[in-house]
Amino acid sequence: MERMLIDNARIFDGSGAAPYAGHAIVEGSRISAVGRGPAPPVDAQRIDAAGATLIPGLIDGHTHLGFGSTTRQVIKPAHRRPEEDALVMAQAGRALLDSGYTSAYSGGSSAPAAELAVRQAFANGWLAGPRLSTCSFEMTPGGAFAPGVRFTGAGARASAPDACVRFVEEMAAAGVDSVKFLLNGISAFDPGSNLGEQFHVGEIEAAAAAAHRLGVALTAHAYTPAAIGLAVRTGFRVLYHCNYADEAALDALEARKNDLFVGPAPGIVEADLTAGPGFGIMASPAQREEQAQLVERCKHVGRELRRRGIRVVPGGDYGFPWNPIGRNARDLTLFVEWFGYTAAEALVCATCTGGELMGLPGELGVLTPGALADLVLVDGDPALDIRCLENADNLRLIVKDGRIHKNTVVTR
């Protein structure tokens, strides 16, 4: 079994404790030892960290590899064949790993079969990419979400719980880890629809019963108090956005805070306001006003989530041309600037809390003996200045599953 020693590092172990000078030893795909001070003599490949900070691999809690755009390549949203989707996802996954994200929780897939295929390729080491928790299509009442979809609202149609159950059953049979419903619309693609309820209560209740029976997790795109309350009541595990949560909705989230995760996605909220108009997104005066108000709502809710101790995960809908993959660490900066997290607290959200989201608490997102060897060595101290993670040049070493993906450090 191959052994690797990372010595002379500042260790941030994911717990939130202050970093300390120390070392870590990796054997195979696991961390075998972590200690303070210089490492004892050991027969291993030695990497001298030279005082850089060793952290657990970052975890993105709201990933859309199929959107495809990265900081290196813009790919416009389009209908593609599954094999084309797999190639798009593969290059996006590589860009995500290059940014220090060794794990990703899918927030909805443009092609679940392709996403399942790239998950396997990443896991087997055939392609460079993060360990991946997969998701279904993003379900709207009219079918899978795609740019151009119009959100007419539940009031415009009859309830069809059987169709929602069939969707859950089909996605569970395909092998995805989670199933997603868009409980509200998306104003960026259909103006004003953020506040529109898209499903009847009975539809979501039936879908949730099917998901729980089949053992798949549920994910909600939810903005309004009604959508948040419905998702909480029916046992959704992940709720994205939640930007219009009122006190009752926040109370409901807090009451179930040990059972769920919230992803407020500040990255896309900021990008829709600042970069979206250049791409024709949120470009009219009314849309820009709506988005400016959404920024303030996002800041308020983010601060409340932190205050109430609700598990919050970073991940901001990266992958659109105006919000490309490769900028994912921007979310962590916004956790600090918008929500009031300390840099260390934001880093815990992206590591330890992310490991819980991925279903591997104590094994992923922590730097302790026995944990999976997903590691990033960073020039600077992100526990003090989280912004250093936004520059991929600061990432000197990236290790996933004990395999070196990137190394610009002297190795002996």
What is the amino acid identity at position 173?
A
* Whether residue 314 is found in the same domain as residue 198: yes
* Whether residue 232 is found in the same domain as residue 249: yes
End-to-end CA distance of the chain: 18
- CB burial of 5-41 (b: ≥16 within 10 Å; e: otherwise) equals bbbbbbbbbbeeeebeebbbbbeeebbbbbeeeebee
Distances from the Cα of 177 to the Cα of 135, 222, 253, 264, angstroms: 6, 19, 22, 21
- Picking from 267, 302, 328, the residue at the C-terminal end of a domain is 328
Distances from the Cα of 363 to the Cα of 49, 67, 251, 308, 318, angstroms: 23, 29, 30, 26, 26
pLDDT at 76: 79
- Picking from 328, 354, 375, the residue at the C-terminal end of a domain is 328
Q: Do the domain assignments include residue 283? A: yes
Q: Do the domain assignments include residue 206? A: yes
Pairing assessment for the beta strands 3-11 and 45-48 based on DSSP bridges: parallel
Q: Do the domain assignments include residue 348? A: no
* Whether residue 382 is found in the same domain as residue 259: no
Cα 398 to the center of its chain, rounded Å: 18
* Whether residue 227 is found in the same domain as residue 305: yes
pLDDT at 40: 86
* Whether residue 126 is found in the same domain as residue 66: yes
CA atoms within 13 A on the CB side of 311: 20
pLDDT at 81: 84
Greatest alpha-carbon pair distance for the chain in Å reads: 71
pLDDT at 1: 56
* Whether residue 242 is found in the same domain as residue 104: yes
Q: Do the domain assignments include residue 19? A: yes
Do 96 and 138 contact (CB within 8 A), yes or no?
no
pLDDT at 80: 81
Which stretches of 65-143 are DSSP H helices? Answer: 82-98, 112-124
pLDDT at 411: 65
* Whether residue 143 is found in the same domain as residue 23: no
Q: Into how many domains does the chain fold?
A: 2
* Residue 143, φ and ψ in degrees, nearest 5: 125, -160
Stated length of the chain: 412
* Residue located via tokens 């104003």: 187
Q: Do the domain assignments include residue 152? A: yes
Closest to 397 in 3D by CA, of 379, 371, 383: 379
Q: Do the domain assignments include residue 191? A: yes
Report d(CA 107, CA 328) in Å as an integer. 14
- Structural domain containing residue 14: 3-56+363-407
- Enter the pTM of the model: 0.96
Residue 399's CATH number:
2.30.40.10
- DSSP bridge pairs for 398: 376, 406
pLDDT at 412: 61
* Residue located via tokens 């409901």: 252
For 61, the 3-state DSSP assignment is strand
* Whether residue 253 is found in the same domain as residue 300: yes
Q: Any long-range contacts for 249-252 (C-beta under 8 Å, 24+ apart)?
A: 249/225, 250/301, 250/304, 250/305, 250/308, 252/228
* Whether residue 29 is found in the same domain as residue 104: no
- DSSP bridge pairs for 20: 11
What's the DSSP call for residue 196? Answer: -
Report d(CA 48, CA 310) in Å as an integer. 38
Q: Do the domain assignments include residue 349? A: no
Report helix angle 112-124 to 82-98, nearest 10. Answer: 50
Q: Which two tokens stand for residue 358?
A: 């991925």
How confident is the prediction along the chain (412 residues), in pLDDT tens digits per residue?
589 999 999 999 999 999 999 999 999 999 999 999 988 888 889 999 999 999 999 999 999 999 999 999 998 776 788 889 999 999 999 999 999 999 999 999 989 999 999 999 999 999 999 999 999 999 998 778 877 788 999 999 999 999 999 999 999 999 999 999 999 999 988 899 999 999 999 999 999 999 999 999 999 999 999 999 999 999 999 999 999 999 999 999 999 999 999 999 999 999 999 999 999 999 999 999 999 999 999 999 999 999 999 999 999 999 999 999 999 999 999 999 999 999 999 999 999 999 999 999 999 999 999 999 999 999 999 999 999 999 999 999 999 999 999 999 966 6
* Whether residue 196 is found in the same domain as residue 311: yes
* Whether residue 190 is found in the same domain as residue 169: yes
For 136, the 3-state DSSP assignment is strand
Residue 86's CATH number:
3.20.20.140
DSSP string, 260-291: -EEE--HHHHHHHHHTGGGGTSS-SHHHHHHH
What's the DSSP call for residue 41? Answer: P
Radius of gyration in angstroms for the set of CA atoms belonging to the chain, rounded to a whole number? 21
Dihedral of the alpha carbons of 333, 336, 342, 345, in degrees to the nearest 10: -70
* Whether residue 82 is found in the same domain as residue 225: yes
Q: Do the domain assignments include residue 183? A: yes
CA atoms within 13 A on the CB side of 141: 23
pLDDT at 149: 81
